[in-house]
Structure 1
Amino acid sequence: MTCPRCDAATIAFSIPAALRAHLPDDRPGAALCTHCLTVTPLDDPPDDTPSFERVSDAFPANDEAAVAFACVLALLDSLVLYRAELDAVATYAETHGADVLRALERLDADDGVDAHFDVARRTRQLEQFI
């Protein structure tokens, strides 16, 4: 699958049931663009967790934390609309070993990523309520 926003390659992953309730779409999986970080819901995700290092080494090494961090990225488009959901997903990510704010800072510094949102600005905003 390619990204609907920029046509770059994506990586598909399954979303744990505990996180699906906090996402705008309750499908069992998603595809993350390796270039612009767009997250697109999927009906038929793979069973295996992909290597998120294909996107950036800013992603947590732990599979559960990396998936949760990708779910955080899915919510960053609308901080106001998804405030409670972002808090829940970020908490899940942190309990599974991710430092969400640090990972966002590292992602912002990664020249190989051209996010469709202002990562630095979203990081500052997110920091105020998680």
Structure 2
Amino acid sequence: MTCPNCGGDELVFPVPETVHEHLPDDRVGATICTHCLRVSPADEAPEDYPDFTTVSDAFPTDGETSAVLAVLLALLDRLVLHREDADRVAAVAEGRGVDVLLFLDRLAADGSIDPELDVGRRREQLEQLI
């Protein structure tokens, strides 16, 4: 699949049940662009989680945990509207052993991607929430 935002490749993944209710869309899957990190809903999803480290080394090797972080990125795009959901998804990621702020720092420093959102700025805003 190709990203409608930048033309990059998209990675399709299932939305974990633990965070599904926090997305504004109720589809079973989502995509993340390997270049701009845009997260979009998908009508279908694979049974297994893909290797998110192909997007960035900032993602953990555990696919389900990476999918939780991808959902968080989707919510950060509209943080004002989804503050509570972003806080809850960040808590799920932290419960899985992820330092969410460090993850965002690593994404911001990754020169192989060009995120559509200002990851550093969203990190600061998220830090105020959690």
Q: Tell me the equivalent position of 1:67.
A: 67
User: What TM-score, normalized by structure 2, do the two folds share?
Assistant: 0.96
Q: Tell me the equivalent position of 1:34.
A: 34
1:58 equivalenced with 2:58 (yes/no): yes
Question: Structure 1: how far apart are the matches of 2:13 and 2:97?
Answer: 18
1:42-77 deviation line (CA, Å, top 9, x unaligned):
111011110001100001222222110010001111
Contact 1:35 / 1:115 at 8 angstroms: preserved in 2?
Answer: yes
Give, in angstroms, the shift of residue 14 of structure 1.
Answer: 0.2
Q: Tell me the equivalent position of 2:122.
A: 122
Q: Which runs of 5+ in 1 are unaligned?
A: none
What letter corresponds to residue 126 of structure 2 in structure 1?
L
Question: Structure 2: how far apart are the matches of 1:94 and 1:65?
Answer: 10
Q: Tell me the equivalent position of 1:93.
A: 93
Contact 1:62 / 1:97 at 8 angstroms: preserved in 2?
Answer: no
Give, in angstroms, the shift of residue 123 of structure 1.
Answer: 0.5
Moved over 3 A (4+): none
Q: How many residues align?
A: 130
Question: Structure 2: how far apart are the matches of 1:75 and 1:119?
Answer: 12
Question: Structure 2: how far apart are the matches of 1:102 and 1:93?
Answer: 12
Q: CA RMSD in A?
A: 0.9
Q: Which runs of 5+ in 2 are unaligned?
A: none
Q: Tell me the equivalent position of 1:105.
A: 105
Q: Sequence identity of aligned pairs in percent?
A: 52
Question: Structure 2: how far apart are the matches of 1:41 and 1:6?
Answer: 16
Give, in angstroms, the shift of residue 17 of structure 1.
Answer: 2.1
Question: Structure 2: how far apart are the matches of 1:26 and 1:9?
Answer: 23
User: What TM-score, normalized by structure 1, do the two folds share?
Assistant: 0.96
Contact 1:10 / 1:34 at 8 angstroms: preserved in 2?
Answer: yes
